[in-house]
Amino acid sequence: MSTNRTFTMIKPDAVANGHIGAIINDITAAGFKIIALKYTKLTEETAGKFYEVHKGRPFYTDLVTFMSSGPIVAAILEKDNAIEDFRKLIGATNPADAAEGTIRNKYANSIEANAVHGSDSDENAAIEGDFFFTAAERF
Ligand code: GDP
């Protein structure tokens, strides 16, 4: 059953390039409600754990280094059909393939530094939200 929730991160590239406000505006304008929000920084250890599912892929080490290179914004978002609608809003993993007007099309630099994360399933949204937020941090 759908939870109507997804998890996102504004990645270090988009934070460094000054896009936090614009991205949050795009997210709320698309109808997502912010349930939890945090400005924080991953360590190599926590980034490695978050992306453990990609361990063994050739880009894993680079991805962990990139994701721990600067602060990020983490958030839990709520909307009907949240997972699918958010993936549509952010666009394809590679910004070169991301549809016009999507967040990655507007703010991303490369397939790695691609501005935002979006959960790919209800199950992962719950796991990823729990990674960053306690129950008391959700509203
Ligand atoms: P997503 O669900 O669209 O974020 O894509 P994936 O789950 O497949 O990959 C997770 C993250 O790994 C992506 O958002 C990128 O930051 C990074 N990534 C994916 N594919 C590649 C790749 O081929 N090369 C590099 N350097 N990074 C990648």
> What sign does the CA torsion over 68, 39, 37, 105 have?
negative
d(CA 77, CA 33): 6
Q: Is 104's C-beta closer than 6 angstroms to any atom of ligand 1?
A: no
pLDDT at site 71: 98
pLDDT at site 2: 78
pLDDT at site 3: 84
Number of independent structural domains in the chain: 1
In 3D space, the residue among 46, 77, 48, 45 whose CA is nearest the CA of residue 61 turns out to be 48
pLDDT at site 127: 97
Phi and psi at 40, nearest 5°, equal: -155, 180
Question: What's the 29 CA to ligand 1 centre distance in angstroms?
Answer: 25
| Residue numbers in the chain where pLDDT is lower than 70 | 1
Domain encompassing residue 30? 5-137
Q: 108 and 90 in contact (C-beta within 8 Å)?
A: no
Among the listed residues 19, 79, 104, 117, the single catalytic one is 117
pLDDT at site 112: 97
Residue whose CA is closest, atom 5 of ligand 1? 93
- Can you give the CATH number for the domain in which 32 is found? 3.30.70.141
pLDDT at site 1: 61
d(CA 32, CA 26): 9
d(CA 37, CA 9): 10
User: Catalytic residue at 117?
Assistant: yes
